[in-house]
Structure 1
């Protein structure tokens, strides 16, 4: 998603734009169960990878370097939001895309993501950019971890992180 040499914030913002684009494609595919199933899977995979990057490489370091109550609260809230997102993604796994609950979960997921992105980009990321964290080094680690996670999704160990099953009628 992000270009080589990007810092951590650039990578995460690029992820946000990509997921927003996938949600728009999902909305545009209304009535096409096959396309929506594929897009729901792609949304779930993109969010799962994005969350792993933040949870593994950014949030713990921010908590170690920033002792301000506001920063700690923002990271804790983001972590709770990730838990909710993981639950919604897991609930879509293996479902018939014609099930109205799949679309409902994607709609709720979209609203959660919109809220999460707004908080991160307006509140958390500006604090991260002012911190002593080496965002270029973290960005390089994120790119390496992303490659590893994507290779698992692309048919390595574990297959896909999420798959909405298409059921023919």
Structure 2
């Protein structure tokens, strides 16, 4: 009987778990957007704010810890430049969603477009950046996972205090 060896959880697996969790939130939002329930607007706002919080924290830990370390380890940093530009676009949409006073079609469209941006960003990280990071010499992704998890916990605690 053969056993398959599971990869040791590393920074990439932590970030990818975030990706999967936020994808579920976008799917739930999409279902609400097509719902005719009277409670949908309030639930949509709450879900959209949760998406924004998750993405804000995720982007911050990538920008503070993951990207700088990967940038140092890789010769070709085009993917990192692109990822940072994608983060800037996502942050702009996040700000628009958070500042919205009405839950209308434009609000739904902004959340939908944010989801599309994130899908694109996730595919590039999963298919291109993470494999390159894992192959890079001298990059301790297993150790970095703990650093990311700790920083994420701090940021989420800060966000809940501000909410």
TM-score under structure 2 normalisation?
A: 0.88
8 Å contact from structure 1 (residues 36, 97) kept in 2: no
Structure with bigger helix share is 2
Gaps spanning 5+ residues in structure 1: where? 161-169
1:106 aligns with 2:114: no
Residue 152 (structure 2) aligns with:
146
Gaps spanning 5+ residues in structure 2: where? 1-7
Residue 47 (structure 1) aligns with:
55
Structure 1 stretch displaced more, 95-104 or 59-68: 95-104
Residue 119 of structure 1, aligned match among 112, 121, 124 = 124
Number of matched pairs: 150
Q: CA deviation at 1:121?
A: 0.5
Q: CA deviation at 1:97?
A: 4.2
Alignment of 1:58-77 (within 5 A): 58-68=66-76, 72-77=77-82
1:94 aligns with 2:102: no
Q: SS of the counterpart of 2:99?
A: coil
